[in-house]
Structure 1
Amino acid sequence: MDVAAIIFAVFTLLLLLGVPISFTLGIASMVALWFGTRVPMENIPQMMFAASDSFTLLAIPFFILAGILMEKSGISGRLVNLANRMCGSSIGGLATVSVVASMFFAAISGSGPATVAALGSILIPAMIAAGYDEGFASAIMATSGGIGVIIPPSIAFIVYAVVANASVSKLFMAGVLPGFVVGAALIVAGYVISRKRGYRGAEVATAAEKWQAAKDAFWGVMTPVIILGGIYGGIFTPTEAAGIAVIYAFIIGVFVHRELKLGDLPRILVDTGVSSAVVMLIVSSAAVFSWLLANQNIPALAAEWFLAISRDPIVILLLINILLLIAGCFLDAISAMMILVPILVPVVTALGVDITHFGIIMTVNLAIGMVTPPVGVNLYVACSIAKISIEKISKAVVPLLAAAIVALMMISYIPWLSLALPAYLGLK
């Protein structure tokens, strides 16, 4: 029996049955190996271990831990206050604040759901109290939270770098301008909607209030400066930067802001362990899945299929974007990376598309996938905060998705947005 047919049939069936993606990948791989190949089953744990035995992937639990420590240290509230003082007085000010604060927090957390959870608990109730529609308030927060995986440091970039054999440092710097492009698109969309509905901004902050907010948020704003400055200054690697971020977050939380208690650490470490285990189980299960695809020559066949349609990069990137947007409706970012990168990278490299640029394209697509039903995890986080139905937020998110897709097209077809900063810094 054809191995490719078995693995995709079992994968699709389990996905439709709602089996968690890590188990779906693992079970589909085991069934395909058992019935379709002569590879011993005991090779599966060896492949899973080899996939997770990576110094680069060690950055994931450290960045997760740093993000949780930052959240518990009161940094998220200070960043929201800074953003509100700086741009909250415009039409739809709190919607703009949601996007700007998400861009700040993205440079700390590296996670979309974490960004929505940390900031949404403050901003969604504030927007509703100010007269914003519940659906719009939740939708703007959920959508802007997706910037958490675009602006560095990003867990998605780390996974992509491992699978595609790309540079983490180059991907981190390449994500900066695209993150601002997505943020700008959401600010414009939020402004237009707010103007139409009459959502007014807050009172204009005085210079003294702005200065006080900047002082309060200083240590949080310094986090990405230290992390990225250390990486690009050659002081430490991205993985070492993740460890430094943990130490920095601990010091700020305990000794500077004094909001992080030592008694909180056991719960924080447990939450970090659970979140890290989920990611690593997906990575290790998907490694077996990807090995099977490669063993059956699926990436090469996919490349031939795409190139048979067209050899025009514009057409192929459009098709790939459509594929990734659809995949984002059903797969989380990490799973989609592990499954699709081995298939799609040979296609784009054959067309001369830079591997770093394609990593940004994939990540922006999957960030959009975080707010597309039925598996848009950011939507569910925002829904739980606002206590509204998924149907209500799904309707409200449509114009914001349209704005994000416009930004995606710009990023896809203007490589300079992704490659300018890495080239300026001489990154290879």
Structure 2
Amino acid sequence: MTLATDEAHEFVVPAETLEAKPGSSWMRPVEVISAILLLSIIGMLLAGVVSRYIFSRPIVWIDEASSIAFLWLAMLGTAIAIDRSEHLRLTVFLNTLGERKREFAETFGLILMGAFLLVVLPAAYEYAVGEMDITSSALNIPVGYRVSAIAIGMVLMLGLVVTQLFKTAKLRDFIVAAAIVLVVLAALWFLTPVLKSFGNANILIFLVGATAICLALGVPIAFCFGIATLLFLGFTTTMPLVVVVSRMDEGMSSLILLSVPVFVLLGCILDATGMGKAIVDFLASMLGHVKAGMSYVLLGSLFLVSGISGSKVSDMATVAPALFPEMKRRGHKPKEMIALLATGAAMADTVPPSIVLIVLGSVAGVSIASLFTSGFAIAMVLLIALAILARIKASRENVDGFRRPSLKLIGKTALIAAPALVLPFIIRSAVASGAATATEVSTIAVLYAFIIGVVLYGGIGLPRIYRMLVETAAMSGAILLILGTAAAMAWALTQTGFAFQLRDMLSGLPGGWFTFMLVSIVLFMLLGCVLEGLPAIVLLAPIMFPIAHAMGINDIHYSMVIVTAMNIGLMAPPIGVGFYIACKIGNVSPDEAMGAIWPYIGAMVLGLLAIAAVPWFSTALL
């Protein structure tokens, strides 16, 4: 996967959709090491699965070794993501500026990133040195060797930021921006006694205000959270800055998150082998001749493909090129296709293996097996809502010229698609039954997809495999750094006692649990627009889940509601990031598609309200 910039946002988009952006030559060794680390993680996890389930002899050091490699992969991946400009950021405000002002804002953002790294780096070194006194239980080596990855990653990121400043920044912009940063820091230091007396008002000043300013300047989301947390702790508390690093480590190091890079790689394999296209072709042969048939095919393809890739971007990039030409030939308007593509991808985000559900399970302590089981049912509810709307819109569609395919053709496409079709069901059933963890299933799925792809779907060349490994490292690093800095901010937020005040306020709302549900829906939709799903979960899950639990709301039910709300926000213009991804993939102007998406957003909201009001949808299969 690689990055593209459109009129309003910068996002991660598969390399097959947009040409990959090469990194710096001096980062090549880092890319090679990252690729080796990713292969090592997959190899160790597969060895652990084979040893445990076939030989009944678990390898006790696998988890520790995988954890070490994982953190190093994450931090090296963050550096690669900076080198390739693949960190997720919001540029909607930057694009309202003239060219000269935008150049200054870009320079200002780079200086803020550099300042954050420069301040946190000594704390990262201190944290690593402190952890050298602790010995791991299985490998019997100092834990400091693992957490040294944070300091090394920050050194690499700082070097890349400085390099970018030398390459792109004008000297005058650099001096002015650096002076502004120094003056603001000096003013905050001078006002520290006053700020400490403000109490929870500092949450609005720093955790909200500073984050908003950084987002407006186009600073990557991970750094927005880190900068805001650093300012909050540094100028309103006496907490040592090493706490920021320790919380980043905790947010990035959960063993459950090991499945994230593996599922990202699985999405790359899906794109490279054409397994997703085989599913699309099969559904087209089954439904393409009926009214709204191609809309059903698009929705069904997103539903099934999501069960393989776990990535909305990969889903859309697989389905759109395969279906859009035929849909245009049949008279579908491009703006309607984009609207259905975007909302269909949001619908499918709860289908296992959803990376959002994996992160939610890690942060909120909810069973991933239960989330996967419930997510499948919730996606069906939303699928039906979108399919009904698609059928209404297709009431005047003329399908007289399209004949039903022969049984022979349907059988042929089914035979070709069969190996790909079984994969999402293998993933879901294995996790839901408790036969294997999400991490174990992810490695098995990668091995299965790779072997099937090589044997039946044309194979993948070694150069492309290497590019996929590096791109997976970069995307995983960008995701995990967001989780790390968001975890640090969430911890800072909880230390203020704000969580208890929010709990008391929400608990006292009239209307009981359903009013709380409605407030949660609005909150997560808004955050989904601005922050994307993962950081919103890490920030709010530790606060909102205890409140929901106290109100008697089932954890799985609440999980499905907030994930669906975030996905709707993600696709809602004018800010929703996913909407612009869909426009980029479909090569349609956002202005043209913006008006067409609202009926589909409305259908999703109606489905969400049904899910919120009827817990049975979320819990029936548990």
TM-score, normalisation: structure 1: 0.94
Residues 1:149 and 2:345 aligned together: no
Residues 1:408 and 2:589 aligned together: no
The answer to whether the 8 A contact 1:117-1:381 is kept is: no
In the TM superposition, 1:329-408 aligns within 5 A as: 329-408=529-608
Shift of 1:311: 5.2
Shift of 1:14: 2.0
Tell me the equivalent position of 2:426.
226
Q: Deviations over 1:20-39 (max 9, x none)?
A: 21111111101101101111
The answer to whether the 8 A contact 2:356-2:534 is kept is: yes
Shift of 1:186: 0.8
User: Which stretch shows the higher mean deviation, 287-296 or 304-313?
Assistant: 304-313
The answer to whether the 8 A contact 1:132-1:199 is kept is: no
Structure 2 counterpart of 1:184, which letter? I
Q: Deviations over 1:286-335 (max 9, x none)?
A: 01000001101222111111122225112221122122222222120111
Residues 1:121 and 2:336 aligned together: no
The partner residue of 1:278 within 434, 453, 478 is: 478
Residues 1:255 and 2:460 aligned together: no
Structure 2 counterpart of 1:327, which letter? L
The partner residue of 1:91 within 270, 279, 291 is: 291
Q: Distance in 1 between matches of 2:487 and 2:415?
A: 45
Q: Distance in 1 between matches of 2:397 and 2:225?
A: 45
The answer to whether the 8 A contact 1:110-1:154 is kept is: yes
Structure 1 counterpart of 2:566, which letter? L
Q: Deviations over 1:194-239 (max 9, x none)?
A: 2246577843122222211111110111112222232244432111
Counterparts in 2 of 1:308 and 1:31: CA distance versus 1, 3 Å: same
Counterparts in 2 of 1:106 and 1:261: CA distance versus 1, 3 Å: same
The answer to whether the 8 A contact 1:75-1:217 is kept is: yes
Q: Distance in 1 between matches of 2:494 and 2:248?
A: 16
The answer to whether the 8 A contact 1:152-1:175 is kept is: yes
The answer to whether the 8 A contact 1:90-1:201 is kept is: no
Q: Distance in 1 between matches of 2:403 and 2:528?
A: 39
Q: Distance in 1 between matches of 2:357 and 2:264?
A: 14
Tell me the equivalent position of 2:273.
73
Counterparts in 2 of 1:27 and 1:196: CA distance versus 1, 3 Å: farther
Q: Distance in 2 between matches of 1:69 and 1:110?
A: 12
Structure 2 counterpart of 1:4, which letter? I
Tell me the equivalent position of 2:63.
none
Counterparts in 2 of 1:125 and 1:26: CA distance versus 1, 3 Å: farther
The partner residue of 1:211 within 383, 389, 411 is: 411
Q: Deviations over 1:34-86 (max 9, x none)?
A: 10111111222222112211110001001111111012111111111111112
In the TM superposition, 1:149-298 aligns within 5 A as: 149-196=349-396, 202-298=402-498
Tell me the equivalent position of 2:253.
53
Q: Distance in 1 between matches of 2:302 and 2:296?
A: 10
The partner residue of 1:4 within 187, 191, 203 is: 203
Q: Distance in 2 between matches of 1:262 and 1:350?
A: 53
* Bigger radius of gyration among the two: 2
Q: Distance in 2 between matches of 1:186 and 1:260?
A: 35
Number of aligned pairs? 422
Counterparts in 2 of 1:27 and 1:292: CA distance versus 1, 3 Å: same
The answer to whether the 8 A contact 2:525-2:570 is kept is: no
The answer to whether the 8 A contact 1:90-1:200 is kept is: no
Q: Distance in 2 between matches of 1:94 and 1:74?
A: 19
Shift of 1:125: 2.9
Q: Distance in 2 between matches of 1:210 and 1:40?
A: 65
The partner residue of 1:304 within 477, 485, 504 is: 504
Q: Distance in 2 between matches of 1:412 and 1:27?
A: 35
Q: Deviations over 1:82-141 (max 9, x none)?
A: 111122222122111110110111111112122111111222233223221110011111
Residue 620 of structure 2: SS of its match in structure 1? helix
Structure 2 counterpart of 1:112, which letter? K
User: Which stretch shows the higher mean deviation, 84-93 or 26-35?
Assistant: 84-93
Structure 2 counterpart of 1:376, which letter? G
Tell me the equivalent position of 1:426.
none
The answer to whether the 8 A contact 2:530-2:577 is kept is: no
Q: Distance in 2 between matches of 1:200 and 1:228?
A: 39
Q: Deviations over 1:372-398 (max 9, x none)?
A: 123423322221233221111111111
Structure 2 counterpart of 1:372, which letter? A
Residue 621 of structure 2: SS of its match in structure 1? helix
Residue 220 of structure 1: SS of its match in structure 2? helix
Q: Distance in 2 between matches of 1:209 and 1:21?
A: 48
User: Which stretch shows the higher mean deviation, 47-56 or 124-133?
Assistant: 124-133
Residue 175 of structure 1: SS of its match in structure 2? helix
Q: Distance in 1 between matches of 2:348 and 2:386?
A: 14
Residue 289 of structure 2: SS of its match in structure 1? coil
The answer to whether the 8 A contact 1:80-1:119 is kept is: yes
- Aligned-residue RMSD, C-alpha: 1.7
Counterparts in 2 of 1:304 and 1:311: CA distance versus 1, 3 Å: farther
Unaligned stretches of 5+ residues in structure 2: 1-194
Q: Deviations over 1:252-278 (max 9, x none)?
A: 111222242233101111111111111
The answer to whether the 8 A contact 1:92-1:199 is kept is: no
Tell me the equivalent position of 1:139.
339
Q: Distance in 2 between matches of 1:189 and 1:196?
A: 13
Structure 2 counterpart of 1:33, which letter? L
Q: Deviations over 1:142-171 (max 9, x none)?
A: 111113321111101111111111111111
Structure 2 counterpart of 1:13, which letter? I
Determine which structure has greater relative contact order: mean sequence separation of CA pairs < 8 Å that are 6+ residues apart, divided by chain length: 1
User: Which stretch shows the higher mean deviation, 220-229 or 283-292?
Assistant: 220-229
